[in-house]
Structure 1
Amino acid sequence: MQFCDECGSMMKTEDGNWVCESCGYEAARDAEEDASMVTTQGQEESEVVDTSDVDVEDMGPTTGAICPECENDRAFWEMKQIRAADESETRFLTCTECEHKWREDDH
């Protein structure tokens, strides 16, 4: 991914050049630099993360969150990167009362 030196917008590739669709700035592509870039194209989706085998006492910190099952106001939480690296982490919650598990994705 390349960003425009003039306006900071994300640039697109076109005929061997990086082209900014916002301001029209163009820059030549460097094959060596392009090879070192990481893309999400062709990456496999991550597996489902299962926290059911974790003991309650090993769950860690708590936060204020309303359980959708029992309406308790505290839950253990854990953050995991389950999608591509350029997307936000997912927060997994476990109710401190009924141990119901749910997750919150950043939309």
Structure 2
Amino acid sequence: MHFCPTCANVLLVRTDRSPHEFFCQTCPYVHPIERVVGDRTILQRKEVDDVLGGAKAWENVDSTPETCPKCEHSRAYYMQIQTRSADEPMTTFYKCCNHACGHQWREK
């Protein structure tokens, strides 16, 4: 991004003229583009926290008769977490009791 030296707004690129130019929408500033302008910065991704608390969160939860949508096992572990504002209902998360499956889903 390039900024206007006069009013500090973001400069836009006009490509309908030759040479192309940077121009400001709020003041009459115009600057011709004389060379290729580019810079690439690869951003480091942040480590994402598991909102469900990871594997340890499922250690002491109860199970309920809920059918797994993946393997159709008849029971699933469940936990409820407040993911939205306080006036909204809690979200129920499920994990299949079949250890070979272990599919996780949330209540729709």
What band does the TM-score fall into relative to the shorter chain?
Answer: 0.3 to 0.5
TM-score relative to the length of structure 2: 0.47
**Which structure carries more relative contact order (alpha carbon 8 Å, separation 6+)?**
1
TM-score normalised according to structure 1 size: 0.47
User: Higher Cα Rg: structure 1 or 2?
Assistant: 2
